[in-house]
Amino acid sequence: MIELLDSKDWIKIYDILLKDPLRNYFNLLGLISYKEIYQNIFLQTYKDEIRSILLLRRSGTLKFYPIGDFDVDEVGNLLKELNLKQIIAPRSYCKKLVDHGLITEVNIESYLATLIENSTHTIDKNLDIRRLEVKNLDEIEEIYKQTFKAYAPREVMESRVNSKRGRMFGLYEMDKLVSVAQTEFESSDNALIVGVATLPTYQNRGYSTQLMKYLINLLRLEGKSMSLEYESTIAAKLYKDLGFEVVDHVVKYEKSR
């Protein structure tokens, strides 16, 4: 059975999505955003157990999170009823929907990768790497404005630090912040790495690589596994060289005709 979840209960699915933060990164951000991201959220249940979650954004994009053995026919019927622009979700989540001819793959949006290399990285000790705070957000945003088409709102980054669910690190040159990396949805044994960027005029100097090596060493020392999401081929080479391996793809789908 699929039911519409009351908006006052949306936050109740936060811990469920948090079981797979890599694949649910943007779903989680949508739940804690200061803006109204979702139009509707649907729960598919069987004998009081949640089998899948469907999150319809106000933009017309549907996000999908299956839990165990979900009812494909029920999800298919809901897809027929909804007025969607597109479905964006990890390929591993949508295989059954594709196999049943309900949705069709359009293109790969991004890559999901997990660190598999266990070696400790050597870091240039002459580099100035610091733990950043909320007071550094102006500098961080300036880097993101010059490197990303879109990035997490300032309020999200501020709550990330204040709630201690994530941390921010930066590399300085001559007391100027030139490269940044953050963690998000950290737990005792896992962390997502997000927002890795370097000012364009300071790129090709190995700063992102050095900052990532620093962060990887730190998180490994804390006993945490690491994952991240990326889009560009430039980022792909950086992360592969650091020991990350692609484990899934975020894909754009359309409803089959």
123: nearest Cα among 215, 199, 195, 201: 215
Q: How far apart are CA 153 and CA 237, in angstroms?
A: 27
127: nearest Cα among 217, 37, 205: 205
pLDDT at 171: 98
pLDDT for residue 257 is more than 80:
no
pTM: 0.94
Tokens of 7: 């908006």
pLDDT at 43: 97
**Average pLDDT, integer, range 134-148:** 97
- The class that CATH gives domain 2-109+250-255 is alpha beta
pLDDT for residue 29 is more than 90:
yes
Binning pLDDT at 50, 70 and 90, where does residue 34 land? confident
Which ranges of the chain would DSSP assign to H, the alpha helix? 14-17, 25-32, 72-81, 91-99, 137-147, 154-162, 207-221, 233-241
The CATH superfamily of 118-241 is Gcn5-related N-acetyltransferase (GNAT) (3.40.630.30)
Binning pLDDT at 50, 70 and 90, where does residue 233 land? confident
Same fold, 2-109+250-255 and 118-241: yes
Q: What is the mean pLDDT of the chain?
A: 96
Whole-Å CA distances, 21 to 59, 66, 85, 116: 22, 14, 24, 17
89: nearest Cα among 253, 255, 234: 253
Task: Tell me the torsion sign for CA atoms 54, 20, 236, 247.
Answer: negative
Q: What ranges do the domains of the chain cover? A: 2-109+250-255, 118-241
